[in-house]
A and B are shown apart, each in its own frame.
Chain A
Amino acid sequence: MSQGTRSSHEGSLREARQLAADLRALGVVAAPIHIAEGALARAGLADQYTTIETPLGTVYIAWSQEGLSLALRAMDEEEFRMEARALLGRAVTPGQPPERLARGARAWLAGDGRVSLSFDLARLTPFERAVLMKAREIPRGEVRPYGWIAREIGRPGATRAVGTALARNPVPLFIPCHRVVRTDGHIGNYSMGGPEAKRTILTFEGVDVDELERLAASGARYIGNDESRYYCYPTCHGARNTSPAHRVGFSNETQAYAAGYRPCGSCRPPEAQLAG
């Protein structure tokens, strides 16, 4: 073998090795991170999330194919992802909400109570779901006591459990657990930022929280109208539309009944339980 052919042979060997190494290198590519994330979401193994502006500031929301699954305030994305994983029991991945959901969420926050928003509450018990769905019926600008929900869902003795279920609301703001207050009229606690945040959002929605607390302190739980002779929860539009001259305060339903008043059909305060 001559010198020339050997070196050309070595050269082509070197080139073949180079080609093999280069082809291997073509397999080393960093995929866009959302390939796996998107597949997990499509497999129903991950929820997607984004942020949305609300009266309480920026809030993270997550959703599955079923609907909105989580609304949470967090310091940063990392904290949200950790908490969401713990609460949902599955991963969350950044994403763009479906148009219907995005529009619905914005309209709801802007005060459109008729908007249809779907939720993914599969991890909750039927009781918890019933409590939350009932809370969604409370109109904006109004509040109801825990006992109201218990009664409305046919579990009048379960007031405490209603409180627990509301505290576990995975989608505060969108299921307005903030519109449920203590039976004595004090606004009570709130999972998304405590009593102060609850006061903020209720005020934003048009509830006169100070007035509510003054009434509670005075012992008046219901407001009656001495013309129509109905009694309402103080934030019911029926009570708010009653002129001061015709307003009558009642500390309980028995007192209202005794005075000849009937419960309002709109806000549905309890009827008097008559002994015997």
Chain B
Amino acid sequence: MRPGDGVAPSCSRPLIHSDSLVSHAPDGDAALAAALARDLNAGFEWLARAWQNRLYAFMLRMTGSPSDAEELAQETLVRAWRALSTYSPQRRRELSVRPWLFQIAVNLARNKARSISRSGTVSLDELERSAGRDMSEVEESPAARIPDEDLAGAPEASLERRQRLETLAALLLALPEPHRLAVTLRHVEGMNYTAIAEVTGLPVGTVKSHASRGAMELRRAIERERAREAYREETELKR
């Protein structure tokens, strides 16, 4: 046997599919569903590689912990596999992959949030990791934290952007769970409200209000951050 024998053409280079699938999710979904109907094993391999990044990102935004995100994203894929292997080819062909996958993900994320709230709070360590590896100083709440580095001498756009994103990630984590979920699905994952309603099992109106209230809370928190930062810069200049 030579290398390459026995490799199904549909999955020989699954990584090629991943980017195109993420940027054109609905089209990719149909092709993926067809692949799942045709050859479940090869189709699932494609699915797992194509969706691991989005699922990880979703879990990271929901939990704030890279290790939890990794575990939950993998668990989502494993549960997806278990379900798929009980479906008929017909049912797999008709699958809307993204909402279906995120329904599993949302359930897992909610269960995790519940178990964390039962067991107390997220550790400071995890909060810190969630906001970025370079944050060395933890203040009273995640929303209040900003990077500790002195940027005065290095107005580098990418660094500035990274820090802005780290702050935003921390602020997002500080939102109440339903708002965080709606904002993450709507704005981070880019789903429409109908899909979010389907995925969360909530009415469309509720989902919309959660997303818009969440976004508003974020804008306010960003403003507070900015004011705090301006105040700090001012006091440091005076010193």
Contact = CB atoms under 8 A, between A and B. Distances in A.
Interface string A9-23: 000000110011011
Contacts of B60: 29
Contact of A85 (B7, B48, B61, B215): B7
Given A19-B215, A27-B188, A87 B53 contact: no
Interface stretch (A31-39, A103-111, A185-193, A202-210): A31-39
Nearest to B50: A36
Interface residues of A, number: 33
A36 B3 contact: no
Contacts of B70: 31-32, 35
A26 B48 CA distance: 20
B81 interface: yes
Contact of B41 (A30, A82, A90): A90
B135 to A, nearest CB: 16
Contacts of B1: 86-87
A36 B48 contact: yes
Interface in A134-182: none
Contact of B219 (A16, A79, A82): A16
B35 to A, nearest CB: 14
B74 A38 contact: yes
Contacts of B57: 26-29, 31
Contact of B3 (A16, A29, A42, A85): A85
A25 B165 contact: yes
A90 to B, nearest CB: 7
Contacts of A46: 45
Nearest to B187: A23
B54 A27 contact: yes
Nearest to A90: B41
A22 B169 CA distance: 9
A33 to B, nearest CB: 8
A40 interface: yes
Contacts of A248: none
Interface string A85-97: 1110111000000
B56 A42 contact: no
Contacts of A38: 74
Among A20, A23, A36, A82, max chain B CB count under 10 A is at: A36
B9 interface: no
Interface in B32-89: 41, 44-45, 48-49, 52-58, 60-61, 70, 73-74, 77-78, 81-82
A155 to B, nearest CB: 24
Contacts of B218: 19
A89 B7 CA distance: 7
Contact of B52 (A16, A26, A31, A89): A31
